[in-house]
Amino acid sequence: MSAPTGSTGQHAEPEEEFYTWTGKTRRWVLKKLPPDKLLPQDQPSYVASWIYVFGMGAIASLVIIIVSGLILSLNGPLWWHVSGFGHFINSTHLWSVEFFFLFMVVHLWGKYWMAAWRGGRVLTWITGVVSFAVSIVAAFTGYLLQTNFDSQWIAFEGKDALNAVGIGAWFNVANLGQIFMWHIVLLPLAVAAIVAFHVILVRVHGVVPPLDAADTDAQLQPAPQPVPQAQTLQQPTEEPTEVAR
Amino acid sequence: MNSLLALAAGESPAIYLGWGDFVIQLGNFVVIIVMLVLFALALVLPFPAAKRRK
C-alpha cells in the first residue's frame, strides 16, 4: 500500500511510503538502478570508440558458448566423436571460447589503461577479474571433457597440481562424471552470474569515461536527484547534453 | 594445403616457436598477436557515425 503525501500540483509525483521489506527493496533498487539506467536509450559520446565494443563482444561470445554447450551437453561428451553435426557444434563451442577469451583480454587491456576502477567502480573491476578467473577454470574443465588423449594428458598433468594444493579429493580431474557436472552446471552458472552482476554494475555506475574527459562533461555529473515540487517549478530548463546515438 | 588442414584439425604435432629460452606454441603466439593488433586498431580506427534518428 502507498500513501501520497504532500502533493498539491497536478504534475507532482506522489511520494510513496515504504514500510515492508519488499517495498524498501524496490525503493533501493529503483534508486540504485532506475529503468533508464538499466536499459538506456543513449550512451555518452565517448563510448563511440572501438575500444568500448570488446566487453559486448565477450558477452556475445558467451551466449554462443552457452547455446552450443547446451547442445553438446544434451548429447553427452562422446557425441562429437561419432557425429559430423556434433563435430561442428564442438568446434563452434571451442571457437566461441577462443573469441570469448580474446575479446575479454582486449577488454581487460582497454579498461586497465583507462583505469576503469575510477569513480566508485572498484567492484565492477573486481567482478571482471573474478569472471576472468572463473572462466579459466571453466575452460580447463572443458579441455578435460574432450574424451581423447589430449584430455587424458591434461587430467593427469593437472591432478598433481590440484593434489599439491590439497583439493584433489573434491575436484578430481580424472573423474569424468564429476568434471562434466562442474563444466555444465556449476561453472557456467558461476560465470553467467558474475558476468550479469558485472553488467549490472556497469549500468549502475555508467560506462567509465576516458582519463582525459573534461570534468565539466555532463556525463560525469551525478544523476539528478528528485526534488520537491516547489523547487522543481523554479528550476531552469535543463540544457541538452551531447550523447552518442 | 592438406598439411594445413591436418594441422587445423589437430592431427599433426603442434608447431613451437623459440627464441632462446622462450618457447611458445604457434597457435598461442598467433592469438596474442591478433589481440595486440585488435587493441591497436581499436585505438586508432574511427568509429562509424551513428545513424541519425528521424
Tell me whether residue B52 is in a domain: no
Residues of B in contact with A106 (CB under 8 A): 35, 38-39, 42
Which of A106, A242, A245 is most worth mutating to test chain B (most B CB atoms within 10 A of its CB)?
A106
Q: How confident is the model at residue B4 (pLDDT cuts 50, 70, 90)?
A: low
**Structural domain range at position B24:** 15-47
Do B42 and A106 make contact, defined as CB atoms within 8 angstroms? yes
Interchain contact, A109 vs B39, CB within 8 Å: yes
What is the pLDDT confidence band of residue B8, given thresholds at 50, 70 and 90? low
Q: Which of B35, B42, B53 is facing A102, going by the closest CB pair?
A: B35
Residue B34 lies in a domain: yes
**Own/partner long-range contacts of A127-131 (Cβ < 8 Å, ≥24 apart):** A127/A194, A127/A197, A127/A198, A127/A201, A128/A198, A130/A194, A131/A191, A131/A194, A131/A195, A131/A198
* pLDDT tens, residue by residue, A156-176: 999 999 999 999 999 999 999
Q: Is the pLDDT of residue A150 over 60?
A: yes
**In the predicted model, is pLDDT for residue A192 greater than 80?**
yes
Per-residue pLDDT at A51 exceeds 70: yes
Any B CB within 8 A of A48 CB: yes
Helices in chain A by DSSP H: which ranges?
Answer: 21-32, 35-38, 54-75, 79-82, 84-113, 122-144, 149-164, 176-181, 187-205, 229-234
Arithmetic mean of pLDDT over chain A? 86
Looking at residue A17, what is its pLDDT? 81
pLDDT of residue A36: 86
For A106, which of B38, B47, B52 is closest by C-beta distance? B38
Measure the CA angle with vertex A164, ends A160 and A168; round to 5°.
70
Per residue in B21-42, pLDDT (tens digit) is 999 999 999 999 999 999 999 9
Among chain B residues, the shortest Cα distance to A50 is held by: B42
Lowest mean pLDDT among A2-6, A59-63, A72-76, A223-227: A2-6
Which residue in A133, A123, A153, A138 sits closest to A188, CA to CA?
A138
- Provide the pLDDT for residue A46: 84
**What's the total number of domains in chain B?**
1
Residue B43 within any structural domain of the chain:
yes
Residue B27 lies in a domain: yes
| Mutual angle of helices A122-144 and A84-113, in 10-degree steps | 150
> Residue A162's beta-bridge partner residues?
none
- The pLDDT confidence band at residue A229, using thresholds 50, 70 and 90, is low
Q: Which residue type is seen at B53?
A: R
Assess B35–A contact: CB distance below 8 Å, yes or no: yes
| A54 contacts chain B (CB < 8 A) | yes
Q: Which residues of B touch A110 (CB under 8 A)?
A: 39, 42
Query: What are the grid coordinates assigned to A101, written together?
Result: 577469451
Q: Does any CB of chain B come closer than 8 Å to the CB of residue A240?
A: no
A6 — pLDDT class (breaks 50, 70, 90): very low
B41 CB within 8 Å of a chain A CB: yes
Predicted confidence (pLDDT) per residue in A12-25, tens digit: 566 778 889 999 99
Distance from CA of A233 to the nearest CA of B (A): 31
Is residue B24 domain-resident? yes
Distance CA A206, CA A201 (A): 8
* A75-94: pLDDT as tens digits: 999 999 999 999 999 999 99
B9 touches chain A (CB under 8 A): no
- DSSP track, A153-203: HHHHHHHHHHHHTT-TTTS-TT-HHHHHHIIIIIHHHHHHHHHHHHHHHHH
In a domain, B9, yes or no: no
Set of chain B residues whose Cβ sits within 8 Å of the Cβ of A50: 41-43, 45, 47
Contact A50 B47 (CB under 8 A): yes
Q: In this model, does residue B18 exceed pLDDT 60? A: yes
At A222, the pLDDT band (50, 70, 90 cuts) reads low
* Dihedral angle of Cα A87, A93, A97, A103, to the nearest 10 degrees: 110
Which residues are within 8 A (CB) of A69 and not within 5 positions of it... i.e. 6 or more apart? Answer: A93, A184, A188
ipTM of the complex: 0.77
Answer whether residue B3 is part of any domain: no
The full set of domains in chain A, from first to last, is 46-207 (1.20.810.10)
Contacts of A53 in chain B (CB under 8 A): 42
CB contact under 8 A, A53 and B45: no
Q: Is residue B8 part of a domain?
A: no
